[in-house]
Structure 1
Amino acid sequence: MPKVYIDPGHGGTDPGAVGNGLQEKALTLDISLQLRNILLANWAVDVRMSRTTDITRSLAYRTDDANAWGANLLVSVHINSGGGTGFESYRYPTSDAATVNLHNALHPRVIGGMRTIGGVTDRGLKTANFHMLRESAMPAVLTENLFIDSVADSNLLRRADFITATARGHAEGIAAYLGLSAPNPPTFSTIVDNTTAGRFTASTNWGTSSYSAQRYGADYRFANPTLASDSAWFKVNIPAAGNYRVEVRHPADPGYNSSAPHVVVTASGNRTVNVDQRSSGGVWRSLGTFGLAAGDRNLVAVSRWTSSTGYVVADAVRVTRV
């Protein structure tokens, strides 16, 4: 079984590039986690990641880990900055034929996926003496997925469908390089925003704001914490019983709640996941994968019942069958 090593750039104490209310480390992790999930859902591959959470990893750790694991290929996912726009990708200047083949398979599929969502400039296939490319013992490519300091690019990077399309482009490029068959049809996925008609309910204790640029859609809802039941609910129509990944999206602020309870109504009972809303705003954050029953019902609640201080925020929910 082919071994695919995915490296979400930066993380932990290293935010990477920052701009327009976004952080590179959060975006690369979102793309990479979705890339992993798409690969595992569609092809017989083994996947390892340099990080799956917001932790610090040195460059040496990443390449040492990939080399020790015996990966067949490595893809390092990054977001660009510096005043440009568009997508570019890199291999080492003296790469072997296998690396060139990986690069040629990956680049057009990533930008092709991006262009299903919006206009993206192709900055081309390039070479560079980057650590991740130089010190990897297997074919390795580093992708720079738009410019975080470009307003137009950052608007795309905020879109959940763009992140998914970018991840799928990476997955299809990897599969093409490995000679794997076409992927299975996309699974069920739906997004419920706090403004989706008939899909969101909250009491008048929940305010409405469009202040943060990290919001999903036009606005988001917020409320003070209290030791009482007053949840904001997202209603989702689950087409068939099965396993589903549940994600939430919210703006972040140092003054927001450090332990906002999110309740998922699973087939085996309610599950509560506490979310630190002070960081990782503007990207999809997984609450986990749960067994869900079929039916149209209130599925995810954001609760005010927490002893932590700071606003509790309810913005959007995404549910994907896996």
Structure 2
Amino acid sequence: MVKIYLDPGHGGSDSGASANGMHEKDIVLDIGLRIRDMLRNEYEGVEIRMSRTTDRSVTLAQRTSDANSWGADYFVSIHVNAFNGSARGYEDFIHNSLSDSSQTARYRDIMHEEITKVNDLVNRGKKKANFHVLRETRMSAILTENGFIDNAQDAAKLRDPNWLERVARGHVNGIARAFNLTRRSNSGGGGSNGGGNGNGDLYRVIVDGTQEGAYRMRQNILDAVDRNLDSANEVIIRRVD
């Protein structure tokens, strides 16, 4: 059993980076929940734990202590960036004490490749830093920075549910490849769809007039509805002919 710890950054009183009417804490929680749902629904032999599943405050020490005590095999911290309004793109980090030939670096190489295949962002490269969540975790750890919230071009993507789905898919593809996860027999795979619903049909989930995603697995459809039920005025499930 592979144990994956997902860490949507910030939360609660800590909004993270904020710009263009959005908060980092909300975006990364959305991505994290999508990653969780895809892994649970599509792969066997994987357990997922999250530092938070709602908008609540969690300290850095609580995040790493929880992952360490749980015995996670991989720690994935999800963030979005901000700088000066002109900086753009995707980058990821491992701890600066690690060599490029370390196991953590090899995992990161796979994650970087899979995420940049699908995120349509400027590739800012693979980097190292002394961040708490990279330093204090006992397992391999990565921190991903998925675009700049204060850049107009990146922000347009960050508010698009379909783009968030692709980013989550990139993370999932990387995790599955790095840990050689086995796909469930009823999971159709491919693209942003989540497997089978018994008849193989594809369903679009449309939230307030915007497509949130397209899924084949019943649970993915229900999870998409659940993610948006409290905040949406209208949620439509439409079978694709």
Structure 1-normalised TM-score? Answer: 0.62
> Which has the larger Rg?
1
2:111 aligns with one of 106, 116, 134:
106
Structure-2 residue corresponding to 1:22: 22
Cα offset for 1:317?
A: 2.7
Residue 245 in 1 paired to residue 163 in 2?
no
For 1:30, give the aligned amino acid.
Answer: D
What CA distance in whole angstroms lies between the structure 2 residues aligned with 1:28 and 1:156?
13
What CA distance in whole angstroms lies between the structure 1 residues aligned with 2:79 and 2:123?
16
Cα offset for 1:33?
A: 0.2
For 2:227, give the aligned amino acid.
Answer: R
8 Å Cα contact 1:6-1:74 kept in structure 2: yes
Cα offset for 1:247?
A: 4.4
Query: Is the alpha carbon distance of 1:189 and 1:35 closer, same or farther for their aligned partners in structure 2, counting shifts above 3 Å?
Result: farther
Structure-1 residue corresponding to 2:170: 169
What CA distance in whole angstroms lies between the structure 1 residues aligned with 2:30 and 2:236?
13
Give percent identity, aligned residues only: 38
Structure-2 residue corresponding to 1:126: 127
Residue 2 in 1 paired to residue 6 in 2?
no
Q: Which moved more, 1:174-183 or 1:105-114?
A: 174-183
Cα offset for 1:140?
A: 0.1
Residue 287 in 1 paired to residue 229 in 2?
yes
Cα offset for 1:184?
A: 3.8
Query: Is the alpha carbon distance of 1:319 and 1:8 closer, same or farther for their aligned partners in structure 2, counting shifts above 3 Å?
Result: farther
8 Å Cα contact 2:118-2:167 kept in structure 1: yes
Q: Write out per-residue CA displacement over residues 25-72 of structure 1, whole angstroms, 9 at most, x where no aligned residue.
A: 000000000000111111120000000000000000000000000000
What secondary structure sits across from 1:245 in the alignment? helix
Structure-2 residue corresponding to 1:87: 90
What secondary structure sits across from 2:176 in the alignment? helix
Query: Is the alpha carbon distance of 1:70 and 1:148 closer, same or farther for their aligned partners in structure 2, counting shifts above 3 Å?
Result: same
Q: Write out per-residue CA displacement over residues 277-313 of structure 1, whole angstroms, 9 at most, x where no aligned residue.
A: xxxxxxx93439xxxxxxxxxxxxx9xxxxxxxxxx7
What CA distance in whole angstroms lies between the structure 2 residues aligned with 1:162 and 1:320?
19
Structure 2 unpaired stretches of 5+: 195-201
Q: Is the helix fraction higher in 1 or 2?
A: 2
Query: Is the alpha carbon distance of 1:80 and 1:320 closer, same or farther for their aligned partners in structure 2, counting shifts above 3 Å?
Result: farther
What CA distance in whole angstroms lies between the structure 1 residues aligned with 2:90 and 2:113?
10
What secondary structure sits across from 1:110 in the alignment? helix
Name the structure, 1 or 2, with higher relative contact order (CA <8 Å, separation 6+): 2
What CA distance in whole angstroms lies between the structure 2 residues aligned with 1:72 and 1:239?
29
What CA distance in whole angstroms lies between the structure 2 residues aligned with 1:136 and 1:108?
23
Structure 1 unpaired stretches of 5+: 196-215, 218-237, 249-283, 289-301, 303-312
Structure-1 residue corresponding to 2:235: 317
Count the aligned residue pairs. 217
Structure-2 residue corresponding to 1:36: 36
8 Å Cα contact 1:7-1:74 kept in structure 2: yes
8 Å Cα contact 1:246-1:287 kept in structure 2: no
What CA distance in whole angstroms lies between the structure 2 residues aligned with 1:54 and 1:137?
26
Q: Write out per-residue CA displacement over residues 263-288 of structure 1, whole angstroms, 9 at most, x where no aligned residue.
A: xxxxxxxxxxxxxxxxxxxxx93439
8 Å Cα contact 2:37-2:223 kept in structure 1: no
Residue 191 in 1 paired to residue 205 in 2?
yes
Query: Is the alpha carbon distance of 1:110 and 1:239 closer, same or farther for their aligned partners in structure 2, counting shifts above 3 Å?
Result: closer
Structure 2-normalised TM-score? Answer: 0.82
Output the aligned Cα RMSD: 2.7
Residue 142 in 1 paired to residue 146 in 2?
no
Query: Is the alpha carbon distance of 1:102 and 1:11 closer, same or farther for their aligned partners in structure 2, counting shifts above 3 Å?
Result: same
For 1:7, give the aligned amino acid.
Answer: D
What secondary structure sits across from 1:285 in the alignment? helix
Query: Is the alpha carbon distance of 1:109 and 1:319 closer, same or farther for their aligned partners in structure 2, counting shifts above 3 Å?
Result: farther
Q: Which moved more, 1:125-134 or 1:178-187?
A: 178-187
